[in-house]
Structure formats: C-alpha cells, structure tokens
A and B are shown apart, each in its own frame.
Chain A
Amino acid sequence: MNEHKPNTLRDQPDEQGRFGIHGGRFVAETLMPLILKVEEAWKASKTDPDFAAEMEYYRKHYIGRPSPLFFARRLTEHFGGAKLYFKRDELNHTGAHKINNVLGQALLAKRMGKTKIIAETGAGQHGVASATACALFGMECEVFMGEEDVRRQKPNVDRMRLLGAKVHPVTSGTGTLKDAMNEALRYWVTNAETHFYIIGTAAGPHPYPAMVRDFQSIIGTEAKQQILEAEGRLPDAIVACIGGGSNALGLFHPFLDDKEVDIYGVEAAGHGIETGEHAASLKGGKPGVLHGNRTYLLQDDHGQIKDAYSISAGLDYPGIGPEHAWLHEIGRVNYVNATDQEALEYFALCSRLEGIIPALEPAHALAFIATMIGKMDKDQIVIMNMCGRGDKDLEAVLPILEKQGML
C-alpha cells in the first residue's frame, strides 16, 4: 500500500495555470509565444542553483532582507488583546514589498537576454521598484501609470524619473491601475519581441500569478522562521491587505498548510461596500476574464468592467489575483474589508503609537485587525504584513487628517 501523502494547498496551479476555475492564459496570440518562453525560463530558474544564489545575494545586500519581525508593543497594549507583530517589508529598499518580485523578474529577463522592461503601477511602488532594478541592471524601463495616480502619487513619479525610467501617464478609462495595465499590455503586444513585462502583482496570464507569488513568498518564509524564534510557535492569525494580492500571497503561501493559523485578506471597501464605490472584488464582484486571467471582477450584468475606487492607489483595482479567488472559494482564507475612513484612522494611530508611518494599503489591514484583535486572548499572536511605508501618501492624506482633527 502506498504511503498516504498529506494534501497540500501549496502545489497550485495546474499545468494550464488554473487555481480551481481561476487563472489561465487569456491573452492575444501575439503574446502567447512570449508567455510560453517566460514560463520555460521561470521553470528552469527554479531548479538552478546559480539563480538561487544570485537572488540570495541581491535580497541580502540590495533589498536588505531578511526584513525584521517587530513586536508592536504599544498597539498591542492599545488594543488589549493578542500580541501584534509587524513583518516589516516597508523597510525594504524602495519602501515596499514590490522589490522582492521585481528583482526576481528582472534577473529572469536578464537570463532571457531582454534589456527592455515594461511595468504598470498604481501607487507607484511597483514602478519605483522596476525603475530601481532597471537602473541596477542597466535596462530600459517604461512605466505605465494612470494619470489620476500620477497626480496623487507625485513623489513616486519623481523617483521613477530620477532613476531613469520613462513614465507614460495613461488617460484612458478612469486613469487608474486597470487602465495602466491595459496600456502596458498594449505596449507589450506592440513590442512583444523585445520587451519583458514585469507584472507587479500576483495576477495576469500564467505563469505570472504563480511566479510573482513564489518571489514574494520570502515574506512568509522569513516570518514563519522569525515567529518560531521569537515565540516558539506559529501565529494564531496572519493578516495582509489585498489589491491584486501579491504581498498577501507572499505572507500567506508558506502558512497555507498550517491549519491552526487563521488567514485574513483585507480588501479596500472605499466609501463602503453598500455605496458601490469600493475595490473589494471578492465581496462585490463575480468571476470573469480580464488581463489574462479568470478571477473575481467588479463588473456589470453585461460583463463590462466597473471602475474600482479606493483612497489607496495600490488597492484601486477591479480584480484580484486568481489564487486568492480560489482560496476564497475553498474557504482557506477569510476575505474581509476596511473603508477609506477606517484606514485613515489607523494610518494616524500607527504613526503615533509605533513611530511607523504605514502606507495606506497596510493601514487597511491594521484597521481590520482593530476589529478582532481585542477579542483575542493575550497569549495569542497576530502577524500583519507592513508591506509599504506611507511617505508617498502624505500629500494626499495630511489635508484629510487635518480637516478631521487627527493631526
């Protein structure tokens, strides 16, 4: 009799790039040959010790990994429940988790002999990370960014330009991340032979969702080791915010088979789910096909994609990575949400109590944690991914905090 092998949730997707019914390769024929080449190169790199060594070198000496796991003592006291730890990926070079993935894909592009890079960006963090890696490796960088995001994330636009990237403001649609991704895909269709597209989140055609997840999984792998060192056991809950969902998958994936760990993904509820002005694809959307994959999308009854809304440019996207869609359907991850207003309150509180200015994106995760952590026992443990720092948001957020008397 064969030895029974335990089931794992960590071996997705299948050969067709499916996570359940989600994922896949829904792209124009022009891109298919290239996507197959990316898949081939990615598979080869996974078993190549030279690639692993190169990644390890840049993670340690350029990004500054491992990022610390920090016990947030004052917030823990404030909430009066479980112990709260931050996985501090905002301390990475360039100020967010995005660089973990960009570095991997840039090294892959280099191996494939590509020297021209395309990237889309919402908050600008992925654009900055891509511009940074391109400067490091001497590559050309074309960044597509919605013009609304160019306006609300000006410091990041300036950084990208200084790093030598060309920023293309996108005026189609609502000028946010969805439109930037459309335009980046169009540019790629036009330059398929010469350019490598570094997708910034765990979405898009296979192999991107799995590849981005793998590059980001360093977050959860480190966090697991660090919490075992600090507390001698696994956490009771882990929490991360979700736009496309790459920081969340990076934290979640190494914990998926640890059934005692509750997992929460926090979508952006914008002005409130009931208003229809939000970016919560799982809560307010249904399965459809966009940007190369099947997943939950905000859309109308006729299959036209609706505009997402969130104060956070990084969460302002009408879809979600296909692996999240699957984890939602099988019930392994609990998907919840937090509004603009709730995120703003915890943006301010975290700054005051911990001396850490969070990005608006993880401020959503903290806002959700505030609703549950106080009810947990004092010996329980929660880890939140502090996936980005908030400097980029000050210009947009400070006037609101001032008006509301929070400053």
Chain B
Amino acid sequence: MALDRISQCFSACRAENRAALGIFISAGDPDAKTSEELLFGLPDAGADFVELGMPFSDPMADGPVIQAASLRAIKAGMTLDKVLEMAARFRQRHPDVPLILMGYYNPVYIYGVDRFLDDAMTAGVDGLIMVDLPPEEDAELCLPATEKGMAFIRLITPTTNDQRLPTVINNASGFVYYVSITGITGTGSASTDSIANAMARIRHASDLPAVVGFGIKHADDVREAGRHADGVVVGSAVVSIIADHCDDNGNAAPDTAQKALELVKQLKTGTSR
C-alpha cells in the first residue's frame, strides 16, 4: 500500500534517531538512461525516499536549475507515460522505498486524472506533490487521489498563516512538506530558527511526518534542518551536479549519474542527530 511505505519509512528513520533523506531529481534529465541510472542508485547512496519530477515546460515555482533540468528532459523526449514506466521499473528494484511524483498539473490533466491515478498506482507510486494545486482546487486531483489510496502531499510555506494552516492540512496525507523559504527552488536558505518555529506550528496542527525542503544544499544544512524535521529534501543541489557534468549541448558524460550519487552519499552523513 502506498501510504504504508511512506509511514514505514518515517517510522524506521525515527527508530534510528535520524532524519529521512529525500532526493528530488527531474525524470529524464539529461536523458532517460542517465536519469534511470541515477534514480535506481539513489536508495543505495542514502536516499530514504525519492521525489521524481515530472518535467513541465513552464515550472513557475522553480528556479533556473530545475527549469533547465525540465527543459533538458523534455528535449530528450521525456513524457509523462515514460515517467510512469520509469517509476514502475524503480518499484521492481526497490520494493520498499517511497516514490513520490512531483510536478505541475497540466501534464497530468492532459493525460487524464483517472487514467493517471490508475497507472501511477499500478506503477507503485506512493504519493503526489502538485505545486500548482492548492487546497482550493482539491476536487481536481487531491480527492480522487486520496480515494484511490495515493498520498497527496501538501506544501506549507512561510506565507501559510495560522488561520490558513488547517485548510492546507485538512486533506493532506503521507507527509507534509514545509517550503522553508518564500521563494522558488534552489535559491536562498532559511534560518534554523525559522525552520524550528515552523515545525512547531505544523506539529501542533498535524500528526503527519513533516519534511523540510527548498534551499538545502549541503550535509550541514541537512543536519541543521533534520534536527527539527522528520525529513529533509534536497533537489537543486543534486540536479546542479547533473548540469555540471553535461556538455554544452546537455549531453551526459559516462560518470554524470555517479557524480550526483556521490553528493547524495555526503548529504546522508548529515541525517544522524
């Protein structure tokens, strides 16, 4: 069951007194083969759960790093059908590692909500993070997903005030994701104090595990955030390594995936409390 893998992951990390490490990569970046090598290698490098980005042409909450990754993937032919196929192959190799699909609504809407949910469940996807579906649009995908047993992971931001927090948490499942900065991915980083305050606020309102993401780049950042959160997500820093190990045309080198996995191993060292 989708929700079971997520809750077991956080329980196991809690039992080991460490934060869960989530890694975001953009599916198909810079090409399907390299991306798949990286994806399959993430659990052994230290990822406790994986967020697989569904590339979109107009990612309005992403910074330059993930924008470029999405465009590389689309240019190399990545589509939502192929993301789901990749997810299914990941599930065969890693039966217990939670796999979350993250992205924007339009490709899912065009694929068809019911067909998408059925295919994602069959592929072994555990949850969804949809950047441009706030609670006001829950009827679109959140409620149908929850009905089928797919976790719908909600983003909470510094602008989500106390009055609004219950609305945001209401239909959330799996875990909640605290966006630690008022901004786009891969930009500034938040202070430990602000993360601690936000976590206290979220824990007061919800029993779900709470993870922190946005602006987390190094093992030290993971350690700081992981003291307060159940999990920590790193995206742009990993995706940057891919960009750094591509040629000017966006083609991967033989060691591109391995270089990114080395960073994941370093990040992992920050998870123990």
Contacts and interface: CB of A to CB of B under 8 A. Distances in A.
Contacts of A302: 79-81, 107, 110-111
Contacts, number: 116
Q: Is the interface of A mostly helix, strand, loop or mixed?
A: mixed
A32 B110 contact: no
Contacts of B133: 26
Contacts of A305: 57-58, 106
B67 interface: yes
Contacts of B59: 182
A25 B136 CA distance: 7
- Of B107, B136, B154, B179, most A-chain CB atoms within 10 Å: B136
Contacts of B134: 25-29, 32
Interface in B117-143: 131-137
Nearest to A305: B57
Contacts of A191: 182
A33 interface: yes
A138 interface: no
Contacts of B106: 288-290, 297, 299, 303, 305
Interface string B153-197: 011111111001000100000000001001110010000000000
Contact of A303 (B61, B108, B184): B108
Interface residues of A, number: 36
Contacts of A190: 182-184, 187
A304 B63 CA distance: 18
B156 A29 contact: yes
Contacts of B158: 30
A29 B182 contact: no
A25 B132 CA distance: 8
Nearest to B74: A304
A228 to B, nearest CB: 41
Interface of A: 16, 24-34, 172-173, 178, 182, 185-186, 189-193, 288-292, 294, 297, 299, 301-305
Interface of B: 56-64, 67, 74, 79-81, 104-111, 131-137, 154-161, 164, 168, 179, 182-184, 187
Given A28-B132, A29-B155, A185-B61, 4 more contacts: A32-B134, A186-B61, A292-B132, A302-B81
